[in-house]
Amino acid sequence: MTKSPGKNGFGGNLARILASGAFAVTGELGPPRNGSREDVVRKTEHLVGNVDAVNVTDNQTAVVRMSSLAACLIAQKRGLEANMQMVCRDRNRIAMQSELLGAHALGIKNVIALTGDHQKFGDHPEAKNVFDLDSVSLIGTIKKMRDEGKLLSGRDLDGDDGRPGFFIGAAFNPFADPESFRVLRAKKKIDAGADFLQSQCLFDMERFKRFMERAVDLGLAERAFFLAGITPLKSAGMANHMKNKVPGVIVPDEIVKRISGVPKEKQAETGITIACEQIEELKTLKGVAGVHLMPVEWEHMVPAIVERAKLLPRPAFAGPLADPSAPRRPGE
């Protein structure tokens, strides 16, 4: 099996950058908790030209926000390719497949299939959850629609023209337990059809390397692209919060010590330095195809980070998003 973008031409800019072998950079955009187009546009400003594609979250942490698809379309209109996230918490397989068809019709190139955070921590803990599918099933469903022109039930899509040619994304978390199953879980996602995977926030480089070594050994890095998730720490407080309060994130003591060891007003800078050092190390780590930048409420730092980490200029591939003079489909 080969990675699909090179072979089949799925996806858009991100797929082409990854296929070219260039070190990719993706970003993150959390849609606003309102219906303001302007708010989305403002969030794209720090990202255009600095990342190859942006993950647009789907009611992240189970807090109601503008829908991922709507925010993706606004971002794409600004020339920023979107990775539409889709979680299994809120919709069943009927609603999700329908949205995937719509997203394809409206020009979405990349979809990231996730299980989703439990609603317990969100703004509607009294909600009923769905979890009809899980992330692996959703990945398999998207692949089936794309490669076989079939729905999950096995029913055919009408004709071949409307097959959704998504570049399929997934998450991987080397830092959650049980560690022994983590590579197998990533493998399951790749077997189901994931073309690229982005990690949970990386702080524990040793554990990440252990994971990548096994992934490379199993040949997974030849079958899919692995991007490491980078979250710059803003303060010692944030480091402690991530360490103690966020399940599935590990912040090693050395990092907490290092950031706590500098005066408060210098902590943010240290956080950025740590992030840039990590990126530097990842550039040469076997099996790593790029980084996924996800600053928390600190999006305006992205330009400085990509600059300092020497990730600029971003490679440009001609395409409907990169080239404003190219004919646009309605909604793009």
Minimum distance, C-beta of residue 225 to other proteins, in the bound complex (Å): 19
180 binds other proteins (CB under 8 A): yes
**Nearest distance from residue 144's CB to other proteins, in Å?**
8
Can you tell me whether residue 256 is helix, strand or coil? Answer: helix
Nearer to other proteins, 144 or 314 (CB): 144
Select from 42-50, 65-73, 139-147, 315-323 the region that touches other proteins (CB under 8 A).
Answer: 139-147
The CB-of-171 to other proteins minimum distance in angstroms stands at: 6
Shortest distance in whole angstroms from residue 162 CB to other proteins: 21
Q: Judged by CB under 8 A, which stretch of 58-66, 126-134, 271-279, 293-301 contacts other proteins?
A: 126-134
| Interface with other proteins, residue 116, by CB under 8 A | yes
Q: Tell the smallest beta-carbon distance from residue 228 to other proteins (Å).
A: 14
**DSSP letters of 59-119?**
SGGG---S-HHHHHHHHHHTT--EEEEEESSS--HHHHHHHHHHHHHTT--EEEEE----G
127 near other proteins, rule: CB under 8 A: no
- DSSP label at 120? G
* Residue 181 within binding range of other proteins, rule CB under 8 A: yes
Q: Examine residue 131 and tell whether it contacts other proteins (CB under 8 A).
A: yes
According to CB under 8 A, which one of 35, 42, 105, 134 is a site residue for other proteins? 134
Pick the closest to residue 229 from 214, 216, 248, 245 (CA basis).
Answer: 248
Out of 135, 198, 231, 270, the only residue in the binding site for other proteins (CB under 8 A) is: 135
Residue with Cβ nearer other proteins (66 or 88): 88
Q: Examine residue 218 and tell whether it contacts other proteins (CB under 8 A).
A: no
Write down the least CB distance from residue 15 to other proteins, Å. 22
Binding track, positions 182-201, relative to other proteins; x by CB under 8 A: --xx-xxx-xx-------x-
CB of 99 to other proteins, least distance (A): 16
- 53 vs 69: CA distance, rounded Å: 14
Give the residue with the Cβ less far from other proteins, 52 or 58.
58
Residues that bind other proteins (CB under 8 A): 88-89, 93, 115-118, 120, 129, 131-137, 139-141, 144, 152, 171, 173, 176-178, 180-181, 184-185, 187-189, 191-192, 200, 247-248
